[in-house]
Amino acid sequence: MAHATRRLTSRPTFRGAGLAALAVLPLGFLVVFFAWPVAAIVARGFGSGGVGTAIGDPLTWELAGFTVASAGVSTIVAVLAGLPVAFLLARVRLPGVSLVRTLVLVPFVLPTVVVGLAFRALWPDGGLLPLVLANAFFNVAVVARTVSGLWSHLDPRAVDAARALGASPWRAFRSVTLPALAPAIASSAAVVFLFCATSFGVVLILGGAKYRTLETEIYLRTVELLDLSGAAALSLVQFAAVVAALVVGALARRRRENAVRLRSRSETARRPRGGEWWAVSAGLAVVALLMTPIVALLVESVSTSDGWSLAGYEALAGQGSRGALQVSGWDAASMSLRTAFDATTLAMIVGVLASVVLVALRRTPGRLARGMGETMDAALMLPLGVSAVTVGFGYLVTLDALPGDLRTSPLLVPLAQALVIIPLIVRMVLPVLRSVDVRLRQAASTLGASPGRVWREIDLPLTARSLVAAAGFGYVVALGEFGATSFLARPDAPTLPVAVATLISRPGELNNQMAYAACALLMIVTVVAVVLIDRFGAVRGQNSVGEF
């Protein structure tokens, strides 16, 4: 049976030329807006000499070790916390699950400076524990959303069969569900690891003067010291660590990715029974923990030295105390929505094209195609693993060569945000796209459908929900993106996170409160955006998967 499948799979479904044409846009985008700027700035470091010395410096390796270790622990925490939430989202039919699906995304969009301050309130001395937990806090959503995306489509009958044959629920989970989920878990873990390894604001605030990572050190050397050779050396080490993480992630995924029968969530979710309640409770506990800092922020936004007040919210209509902002809070919100829309559109085009190419390469016979596929897969992830400072400074020294001097264009913000969300979109779309049973596609081809029609009639309906989910997720990430945005946003067009950072960096109680109110606004905007997108996705998804 396996043999037969492999023989069938090896029939190329796309022709090489068509594939190459599809690959041009995503690869071109990566080269122009990522590889070239990064290479240019690192090359400058080499030009000024001393890179070798910096690489040989024991401090460099200490930083690398700490970066990898702390990001690794944060990733484990995020995966352990994310799995029960994924179960809740994928398998459980209870009132309030869709609320959980929405709420779990909120941490992801909070500006790092605010989360850093919230964690500081709990752990006034900072340190390792809050640092690790804060990084995990941001990323539980990545695991929960990515894994539940696949989980909700898994056929539950395999588990039922295992249970009928006498397996305990835990055993059935371990030997049936977990292997099927492995690609999504590995994918999300790789993404989370990269986010944690390059997290900047959190480390700066909670690590304080004591804990430093490659990322914070690259920032210091580039931004404050203009020590480009030191920064280049650290970038190379970080790059190597990221590639290593990607290779490990790819190896973990490689043997596990099979075509799984995909089902609609409406068929698979049900009321939990028996031991499943434990998983439900664990999921709900995680959600409650995630909500704690959020509630604290909301409380902070309405408390003043003279008691409760909505002054911060009222101030959103204006520009802050003594005009701290150049636009009103509402204008910043509208700018956020528009920028994130542009970024998501761009990222969806690039990300979905890239995923289609990756799947096609995967299904093309031969080592070459496979190698190309794996290289491209890894290359698409790299933007998550390279310092935003390196990319931002790289833009300054390269993009003037393009027509229109993009360095000072407002377009740069959506471009940079797209770079951050493309890897997420690929990671969310790819597992589902790959899991589409190749025999369905072959049956369609045999019946005379063109490749485009196969994609339209088979892949698209089966993956529609994941596509919408990926777009929604990307949109939300773009809404909250701060690192790249803060480097590039113009003062007359700040996004909400940039506005929050500006407000919080000015003295005065009103500005402080307005910053927290703007955070609350960011959360509300996020929740509304997610609800709309999820609703749209659910309607489309149910119908099309149902029809299928």
Partner 1 sequence: MKRALRTVVAAGTVAALVAGCSLSGNTGNDPQAPATVTLVTHDSWLAPQEVLDAFERQSGIKISVLKQGDAGALTNKLVLTKANPIGDVAYGIDSTFASRALTEGVFEQYTSPEADRGPQRYSVDPEHRLSAVDLGDVCVNVDTRYFADKGIPEPKSFADLADAKYKDLMIAESPATSSPGLAFLLGTVAQFGEQGWQGYWTQLKANGLKVVSGWEEAYSKEFSGSSGKGPRPIVVSYASSPAAEIGDDGKPRTKALLDTCYRQVEYAGVLKGGKQVEKARKVVDFLLSQQFQVTVASNMYVYPARQGVELPQGWAQAAPQPQQPKTLEPAKIQAGREQWIAQWRTLLEG
User: Which residues bind to partner 1, rule: CB under 8 A?
Assistant: 44, 113, 116-117, 120-121, 124, 126, 204-205, 207-210, 216, 220, 222-227, 304-306, 321-324, 326, 335, 337-339, 341-342, 345, 393, 396-397, 400, 404-405, 407-411, 414, 486-487, 489-492, 502, 504-509, 512-513, 536, 539, 543
Rounded to a whole number of angstroms, the minimum distance from the CB of residue 128 to partner 1 is 15
Nearer to partner 1, 343 or 376 (CB): 343
For residue 262, the cross-strand partners are 154
Rounded to a whole number of angstroms, the minimum distance from the CB of residue 439 to partner 1 is 31
Query: What's the token pair of residue 70?
Result: 């702390």
Nearer to partner 1, 27 or 529 (CB): 529
Rounded to a whole number of angstroms, the minimum distance from the CB of residue 344 to partner 1 is 9
From first CA to last CA, the distance across the chain in angstroms is: 25
Specify the amino acid at residue 130. P
Nearer to partner 1, 160 or 400 (CB): 400
Helix (H, G, I), strand (E, B) or coil at 418: helix
- Give the residue from 395, 46, 35, 392 showing the smallest Cα distance to 233: 46
Rounded to a whole number of angstroms, the minimum distance from the CB of residue 391 to partner 1 is 14
Rounded to a whole number of angstroms, the minimum distance from the CB of residue 204 to partner 1 is 5
Indicate the DSSP class of residue 154: B
- Cα separation, 186 vs 183, in Å, equals 5
Nearer to partner 1, 187 or 486 (CB): 486
Nearer to partner 1, 89 or 501 (CB): 501
Indicate the DSSP class of residue 262: B
- Cα separation, 496 vs 207, in Å, equals 25
Query: What's the token pair of residue 16?
Result: 């090489």
- Cα separation, 532 vs 543, in Å, equals 17
Nearer to partner 1, 48 or 175 (CB): 48
Rounded to a whole number of angstroms, the minimum distance from the CB of residue 542 to partner 1 is 11
Nearer to partner 1, 177 or 336 (CB): 336
Rounded to a whole number of angstroms, the minimum distance from the CB of residue 271 to partner 1 is 27
Contact in structure between 126 and 205 (CB atoms under 8 Å): yes
Nearer to partner 1, 72 or 410 (CB): 410
Helix axes 128-151, 460-480, angle to 10 degrees: 160
Rounded to a whole number of angstroms, the minimum distance from the CB of residue 13 to partner 1 is 30
- Cα-based distances in Å from 12 to 1, 53, 438, 460, 462: 20, 49, 11, 19, 21
Nearer to partner 1, 349 or 449 (CB): 349
Helix axes 388-398, 412-435, angle to 10 degrees: 120
- Cα separation, 438 vs 442, in Å, equals 6
Specify the amino acid at residue 91. R
- Cα separation, 91 vs 83, in Å, equals 12
Rounded to a whole number of angstroms, the minimum distance from the CB of residue 494 to partner 1 is 9
